[in-house]
Structure formats: C-alpha cells, structure tokens
Amino acid sequence: MSEVLFSSWKGKVVDNRDKKADEQEPVDNISIPAGFFQESEFKAFMGWDGFLINDPDVSIIELCEAFLTKVQEESCGQCIPCRVGTRVMLEMIRDIANGKGEKGDIETLKSLGETIRRASKCTIGQTSPTPVIEALTHFREEFEKAIEEKKKLPANGTRYVSKVTAPCMNACPSHLNVPRYVELIKDGRFLDSLEVIRENTCLPGVLGRVCVRPCESNCRRANVDEAISIKYLKRFVADFEREKHQAPRLPEIAEKKDKKVCIVGAGPSGVSCAYYLAEKGYQVTVMERFGEPGGMSAMGIPDYRLPRPVLGREVEIVQAMGVEIRYNTMVGRDITMKQIRDEFDAIFIAVGAQGSSNMRVKGEDAGYKGFIPGVKYLLDINQGRDPYPEGTKVVVVGGGNVAIDCVRCSSRIGKKDVNLIYRRTRKEMPADEVEIRDAEEEKVNFHFLCNPTNIIEKDGKVVGVELIRMELGEPDESGRRRPVPIEGSEFVLDTDIIVPAIGQAIDLSFIDEDTQLEVTRKNTIVVDPETKMTSVEGIFSAGDCVTGPGALVAAAGGGRTVALRIDQYLSGQPVRRTEEELMEDFFTGIGVYDAKENIGILDGRERKHLAMLEPDVRKFTFAEVESGFPVNEAIEEADRCLRCYRIGLVAL
C-alpha cells in the first residue's frame, strides 16, 4: 500500500502530493490498515468528515461522483435540501466528468453544498456535502482542468465499495439498522420495524430487556441530553407483535440444501446461528443439555429481568424456520463429538460459561453447607429447586452482573440480610449501571474495598466470612486500579450463605480426545479471528466459550457471524469477512461517534423511561419489574432520534 498522498479529515489537512518520502507528514487522525481488502489495494476513502487518497491515479472527480451516487441512493427524500440538492450536485459533478462542465460550476457546487449542510433534517444531508466541498477546495485545479478541456474522463478500472453506518449501528455487535427501525416506530409501522430488527438479530424481545446497550453509549442525542431509548424501543415492537397475537413475519427461506449443521448449545449464540443458517436453507440441529432453550440467558438471568415466555416465543420462531432442537441432550454423555462429526457437515460449538471461578479462599473447597457458587445459585432459583440454602443472611462476592443478579434474587427467595462484597469501589464495578442502581434501591448492603480471606464454619456449616480491607494501587491489565490488601485490617461478617460470583468458567469436558480442539490456558476455544473456525476443520465456535464470559448481545452477534462463515465454508466460498464486515471494521477504526461533538440546541424533549414497580414491592417478586412503553410514548421516544446516518465509500 502506498503512502497517504492527501488527507482531509475532521478539518485537519495533510498534503503530501509534492513531498519526498522523507518529507511526508504522517496522518494521525485517520488510518487504513494494510491488507484492508484481501485481494484489492486500497486507493482512497471518502466519507462523512472528508476523504483520504493513497493512489496518485485516483480521479477525485470520479470519487466524488461515486460518493454522491451512493448519497442519492440513501437519501430518504423527506427534505428537499438533501433529496434535490445532492441530486443537483451529482448531476453537476457527472457533467464535469463527461466533459460538459461549465465555468462557475465549482463555486456553485460549494455554495449548494453549504446550503444542504445547513438546511437538511438529518446527517445524510448534513455531512455528505463535506467531502465534496473539501475536494473542490483542495483539488480545484483538477476540476478546472476537466471543465476547460471538455473531455470525458477516461475509465481507470477503479471499483467502489460503499456502506451506510451510524454511531449506534457501528457500536452494535450485530450492526442493527437502528435509525431505520426507530424511524419506523415513529411512523407507527411497528411490525415493519420488527422486520428490520430481525434482519440482524432473531432475539428482539430478549435483547430489548437484557442488552447492555452499546448503541446507547454511542448515541449522538446523548451529546445534548439523554440517549434514545434504543433498547426499550426494540422491546416495544417485539412485545407489540406478541401481545397483539400477530404472526411473526418469517424471512424468505432459501431452497433447501443437502448440508447438515449441528449446533452445540441453545443459548443466544447458538439460537442466532441456527436462525440465519435456516434462512439460508441448511438443515440445522441444536443439541441442548437443559430441558428448555436459552442457555445461560434462561438459567442465569432471573425472570424479573427476562420472563421465560419471552425467550420461549423467540426460540419457537427459530423452530418455525425448520430448526430442530434436541433438549436434555448432553454432548459427551448422550451423544459424542465423534458421532456428531460423522453425521454433520459442519459444527458450531456455542456453549456458555456455566461454571464458576474459584475465589482462592481458605475453606471454599471444604463442602460447607451454605456455600454455593453464583451460577449454581441462580440456576437453582430459576429452575425452582426449593428448598434454597438455609438461613437469612447472604453474602455475595463479586461486582459483575451475575453478582448483582444473585443479590437481587436473594430477597426474592426470602433472605432478609443481603450483602455484596466487592474488592474495588462502586466506580470500578463491571456490572450494568442500571442493575447496580436497582440493587441499591432494593436495599442491598454494598461493602466496597473488601475481599474474603477465610470462610468461617461451625459443625460443617457457614457462619461467617473473614474479610480484609483493600486500597487501590496502580492500574492492572484491565486498566482498573489494582486492589491491594491493607495489612491488619481483617474483620468478620456474620452470614449463613456465601455465594462467590467473581467470574464464570467454561466447561469443555464434552470434547473428546479424538476431536483435539486447541484451547487456551483459560479453557476457552481457540478460533481463527477471520474464519471463526477452530483448529479442527469444519468446527466453528463463538460466544462465551471463545471470548470468556461476555454480554449476551455480543454472543448473539457472534452466532450470526458464524452462520455467515459456515455458509461460506459449505458452499465452497473463501471463508473470511465479507466486504460489509470489512467496512464496519474500518468504520470502527475511524471512529463513528464523537462524544465531544457540539450538536447544538435541540427541541428539549426528555427521554421516556419505563414505568417500574416500587423497590419495596419488586424486591419480593419474580414478576417482570418494568412495563413496556405505551404506544404513544414509544412514538414520542422514537421521534427524538436524530437519524445519524453516515456514508463511507472506498476506492479499490
């Protein structure tokens, strides 16, 4: 790849066109990785904040024409400046390229572009003229020459790849078209909105409740007041379909193929993979160890956050696509990996993190009554395995979402004194901020900067836990300050039950010796980051068993990605990222969201929040604690969206 010849991005210009190699200025605010497109050399990029050129043979006029053509394809037509203005700009650029340009076109184009930027309703119109104006400013001679010579530009064999993104879309692991589905809600087209969502995830009701909302953390509306309630709008349309007893609009299924795929695990990753493989016509069978679907989303997430019927309905839709799920089937016990490999053409391992990490505390392996790992604690509660551990005092150790679920469930099964121990401060807790706040409202006792050192027992039963106070030292590999014990600060907290929830572990014991998958020291499966294939050909993996315990939305996105890779593999195509995925990766590297962007003053409409049971009521019930949006509030919330689309185009 050649050096960057010219870059104009976010107002910073780097011009290396007439400089020797040792004189060239580096470009530090936009970069293109080497080998970005596997079989094509990167020549140029044009997007919402400017453009970059690597190849001296790139025609800036043709680049502008290709970019504006894409803009016209994506302009929604709801405002004249963008719909008509960008078309006029395109026609003028096209005339210049065809030798029909007129004197004065350059100034007209720049003036028109400025008007479109000021007067357009959304960011397609507000950003798209920017790179063209920059091109007209910094490559004026090339435009003037084309206008004067009145010659059609020669074809140079350049291929263009374009994609639309938005800050919220780019942050989403499944890259949902958030502005589109939100806009459809604003227009009252709720089932159409759900159809758009299902193009990228088959779990809208689930993610509409338990997603950790990376999209909302990248919402430009937050630069003004609060982010759009993207998560709960997703829940709204999923609930609307279910509550109105609407038949789901299933995607068109491709012609049935003779290839068979086995998926190990019916959690979010496995179910998502099954849905998109079934859409492509594959015969899909899922092996699930439990008697119901959902994996850790069903066994680890309490019903007050994710009601079982919501999850069940979404899996029923996957089954309606032709997917077979074999429940109560444990790989390694009821069927071996060898048998699966003999029967199926491809395998996807999608098991969740269903084990618990050790605290490395004296007494935790002694089998004391009242000591129960967090994952098992939640599993027993979710499956109704009463009686629960005896006693009224609970100590949960940890700061993640599992720990928060454990403390919030404890009061719901009758425990009176509920405590959470965390070795750092509240600021460093990795749990969802909303869940932490809800736990605080439910009167959970938080003990920060403490860590257990010894389990105290009497007659084989837990009666207390010894803790030591901590202080924060230098940052560790996670970027958080490392907790350091304070010598001589030990104290005892009385308790009947200790629930360690410091981390989850992956159980890969079902993989037999013949399969010989490569695993890491943390007992996660090694996959090729490009192909998602394991060390054994035809076996793919994603989700918690690859990344370690993570967010449900990431696992679901990983399952959809593996469906694409398995389709490539079984259809004889190169197994690799698609051009659309490469563009998303590129956008991530550039940075689509700018938290410091000054958007200006908007209408001042505040974010709508879901109605919620009072803490003193909800802490004693497993019924869903939040009600969804009423129709009018969903429409009003959707109308707060700024429709922050951006268009990017790469020349190859």
The CATH number corresponding to 260-353+515-574 among 3.40.449.10, 3.30.70.1230, 3.50.50.60, 1.10.3720.10 equals 3.50.50.60
pLDDT for position 35: 66
Does pTM surpass 0.95?
Answer: no
Count of H-run helices and E-run strands, the chain: 24, 21
Beta partners for residue 37, in sequence order: 40
SS (H, E, C) 418-469: EEEEECCCHHHCCCCHHHHHHHHHCCCEEEECEEEEEEEEECCEEEEEEEEE
Element (H, E) at 472: strand 461-475
| β-sheet bridge partners, residue 369 | 461
- Asked whether the beta carbons of 239 and 283 are under 8 A apart, the reply is no
What mean pLDDT, rounded, does the chain reach? 94
Torsion of CA 96, 102, 108, 113, to 10 degrees: -10
Mean pLDDT in residue range 69-98: 94
Eight-state DSSP code of residue 121: S
| Integer Cα distance of 643 and 618 in angstroms | 36
* Joined tokens for residue 372: 């129960």
Task: Specify the pLDDT at position 300.
Answer: 86
Token representation of residue 309: 């019927």
What pLDDT is attached to residue 22? 84
pLDDT value for 34: 64
Q: Does domain 6-158 have CATH number 2.60.40.3880?
A: no
pLDDT digit string, tens, across residues 180-236: 999 999 999 999 999 999 999 999 999 999 999 999 999 999 999 999 999 999 999
In DSSP notation, 271-282 reads HHHHHHHHHTT-
Q: Which residues contact 324 (CB under 8 A, 6 or more apart)?
A: 284, 285, 286
Q: How confident is the model at residue 502 (pLDDT cuts 50, 70, 90)?
A: very high
Reference 396, options 449, 447, 325; nearest CA is 447
Distance CA 444, CA 446 (A): 6
As a residue count, the chain comes to 652
Per-residue pLDDT, 155: 85
In Å, what is the CA distance from 135 to each residue of 49, 143, 525, 534? 12, 9, 48, 46
pLDDT at 480: 83
**Could you tell me what percent of the chain has a pLDDT over 90?**
84
Give domain 168-250+592-638's CATH number out of 1.10.10, 2.40.50, 1.10.357, 1.10.1060: 1.10.1060
Q: Rounded CA gap, 570 and 182, in Å?
A: 35
pLDDT score at 604: 79
| 2 has a pLDDT exceeding 60 | no
pLDDT of residue 354: 82
| CA–CA gap between residue 429 and residue 423 (Å, rounded) | 9
Query: Domain 356-505 is of which CATH architecture?
Result: 3-Layer(bba) Sandwich (3.50)
Gyration radius of the chain's alpha carbons: 28
Q: With contact defined as beta carbons under 8 Å apart, do 37 and 579 qualify? A: yes
Mean pLDDT, residues 574-602: 90
Burial grade of 413 (CB within 10 A; 0-12, 13-18, 19 or more):
middle
3-class SS at 51? strand
Amino acid letter, residue 190: F
Average pLDDT for 622-634: 96
Assess whether the region 260-353+515-574 and the region 356-505 belong to the same CATH fold. yes
For residue range 371-386, what is the model confidence (pLDDT) as tens digits? 999 999 999 998 888 7
- State the pLDDT at residue 1: 36
Average pLDDT, integer, range 516-528: 93
Q: Where are the domains of the chain?
A: 6-158, 168-250+592-638, 260-353+515-574, 356-505
* Three-state DSSP string of 2-39: CCCCEEEECCEEEECCCCCHHHCCCCCCCCCCCCCECC
Pairing of strands 355-356, 504-505: antiparallel
